[in-house]
Structure 1
């Protein structure tokens, strides 16, 4: 596949959500979508528990590591370390607006320092065996995105970046929470589309407010790729269960019940190694979103996964199957 084909859909890096267990589940639903880790700071990689931060299962590939930082030397060192973990891509976070990120002078605040970002990615590229990419916003605070974003993308291209993801919202560094920054600033898809026209040689993905596969397909008529965040997490079957069709491939499963059954041996192995059901179950609550039995599935896992084992999972799945059978029987009744 060409690069344009390879990165048609990705699942966004989401703090406290896209851990290894989440990625195992998402990979089961889609064989093709590119998965991202939670953001890991360069300093944590250098000084922290590297195995805890960087370990992932071989089944997760293709998977990208997202790093946060603003010191070129630190990012170079962290990238060199991460190379040993075999990620398919290293991504620099220039989009996260949280106070914690700002205090470390990285994330969305770096939209104000494109030359520093260029130095950072150059340092990362010098030691990375895989492609280095950037995820950014269209601007921050009082910046005019129409002026700032073209210059930022041009600076990244001059620094050797060939693939970027653009979150089509500004970030307000003061006055809005991280959650509000994902919802309140208006989306400007037109500006991101203009970047694709202005930089046709770059692979550009769009992020922000993509709620369903119809929106994904609409965006792919213009953009090279689409990154989906919360919708892929809360409604994984609706997004990832249908994702592989974007590559002309059949989905791995016919329905979410089949997917849940396929997850069972993965969870059983995890439990046998001392893990907890909650580690996987918390990422699977939305698997049956909008389907019969969804409420019982979610309630059973939410209430029992923290202390229970595979029997809780089996009970939740049995409720879904019973509700599905009841719905089919009701639909088949005359009148």
Structure 2
């Protein structure tokens, strides 16, 4: 994989790269679209096998963010930033992390508001606090620092709405006594597990960190090996870790009735949704299911919404998915295609005044 081949096949507006010799870290900021407003998307800090792999991840995620902003009716475009640690490098110490975030703040300032960022895998509200002291283009800061705090709760609430919508579409009824397999027990995945347990679901959980699985013991969850996430029978698969979980061979053998989760880019390519449709597996497109975090951050910090208004808009994820499922059935297309069509229609109407939700 080469950076040139990644960018030559990407339809985004721009990609900005920077290399820090001292740490060997690459920075990539991908701006897919500013059609609806400034691009926005989280900052991911993790190891990559190459700079090209980091750029590929940033561009894929930025594209998904454009779709997410559109289906959520938010007046922002799609972007994503990656702070790419060298492969197999140790986690940065405090001084190195401070250096990387300072460089990232400079990157944001140079873009002059074309791109805004928030937390993502490997970053937190504390990191946004550091960015926020050096740039105005960071949201998701702690409440005591003037931000709206973590978006994990609203992301999880939105995913839970998506899980319920897929259960209904798959004719599973309520979640009571249904088996959910939750892959990834970070802040979002664990909260989804709690909500599902409260609804009476049976839980299977998996995470690369066994200590996280232990925290789900109180929910009556059974831990399984991470390698068994896509081969263990369940009613609903809930991916809440990194993307790329389902490739073509996996799609042909998945033993579940529905899929809805917080992970970005769950499918390795959009055509896999056709396989799921043919097999009768209901799939909630990830950029719809996981948009609660964007609703929280942009609603609270850009649009000035109240917490109640943010929660109401997050609950609308279920209605959006119901529309997508209906259109998929009506036109004989995959739910992924129906979701893309809905986003495209909203993008085409971007010149209309934005809905502030007030």
Please report the TM-score for the alignment, with normalisation by the length of structure 1: 0.33
Kindly indicate which of the two structures has a greater share of residues assigned to helix: 1
Please report the TM-score for the alignment, with normalisation by the length of structure 2: 0.31
Larger radius of gyration: 1
